[in-house]
Each structure stands twice: as C-alpha cells, then as structure tokens.
Amino acid sequence: MDLITGTYDCKVDAKGRLMMPASIKKQLSAVLQDGFVLRRSVFQKCLELYPMGEWQVLMQKMNKLNKFKKKNNDFIRRFTAGAKMVEVDVNGRLLIPKDLTVFANISKNIVVASAINIIEIWDKDLYEQAIDDAALDFADLAEEVMGQDDDDHGIS
C-alpha cells in the first residue's frame, strides 16, 4: 500500500459517523473494499485506523511471538483490546463504535491525521494539545530520531 498523507478537520455526527475526507478516500481507494481495523492507540488518547492489509501484516508479526511467555500474551491481549473491524459505507462514512468514541474522548469536532501507513482519529482539542506539547521538544526529538551521523540511518 502507498503511504497516506494529510491532516483534516472533520465532524462526527450524532450517531458517531465520520465522513471520510475526499483526499483520504482517494488515497485509500484501492483498499476501501477490504475494510479496516479501528483500535485504541498505545501511546495517545486517539484511535488508529489500519487498512486491513496493514493490520494483517502486523498480526503476522505478532503471531510469531512465543505465546508461552506471559508478557507476550499480555501484550497481544492489551494491543488488540477493543479492536473492531469497520467499513466505509457507500456514502463515505465510517461508524466509530461507542466504546472507542469514549476511549478517545471523541466529540463532534475531530482531526483525521495520516501516520505513514495508518490514520489517527483524534478529538480536535486533544490533537491540538498533543501537537502543542510536542512542539516544545520536537527539534531535540527530530535530531535524536532522524539526525544520525551516517547515511545508513538518517534520511538527509
């Protein structure tokens, strides 16, 4: 699958349906019919939308974990907790299940943001707060993550 690009302000209706931005639908057009998995983020109070192919690749990696180790079982259980298969309907809407709406504090105004090969769905206020909080140390983080001295690890 190609990489996904873009950040969009959107609204969720009273039934919890998100009208997918046209640009995102276009980028996902080749995989729309396959469906998606929507799950809780590990590090943030947001949701992650995985195209089914991306989810299956991730699950294949997780399936290689030794399930006779308690920490592996605990990780798998917690990582997949609340995960739901979802589809974009014929009108271009995605229904966000109630339990996931509650987890991410989703209200009417949300942000749909690309995260390389998945999409994050945020409550708008929480997204703005996360971006503002990250802005303080982003230069240091960028240097640490991407600023390797050799060409094998950096992206310069």
What is the enclosing helix (H) or strand (E) of 55? helix 52-63
- Report pTM: 0.87
What distances in angstroms separate CA 147 from CA 116, 135, 136, 152, one per listed residue?
Answer: 19, 17, 18, 11
Q: What mean pLDDT is predicted for residues 77-95? A: 94
The amino acid present at 108, given as its one-letter code, is K
Instruction: Give 71's pLDDT tier (boundaries 50, 70, 90).
Output: very high
Q: What are phi and psi of 100, to 5 degrees?
A: -75, -35
pLDDT at 118 over 60: yes
List the structure tokens of 48.
């992650």
- Token match 């109630």: residue? 98
Q: Running DSSP on this structure, what letter comes out for residue 69?
A: S
For residue 6, how many C-alpha atoms fall within 13 Å in the half-sphere facing its CB? 14
Q: What mean pLDDT is predicted for residues 75-80? A: 94
What are the strands, taking DSSP E only, across 4-76? 7-11, 17-19, 36-40, 47-51
**Domains of the chain, earliest start first:** 7-124 (3.40.1550.20)
Contact between 31 and 1 under an 8 Å Cβ cutoff? The reply is yes
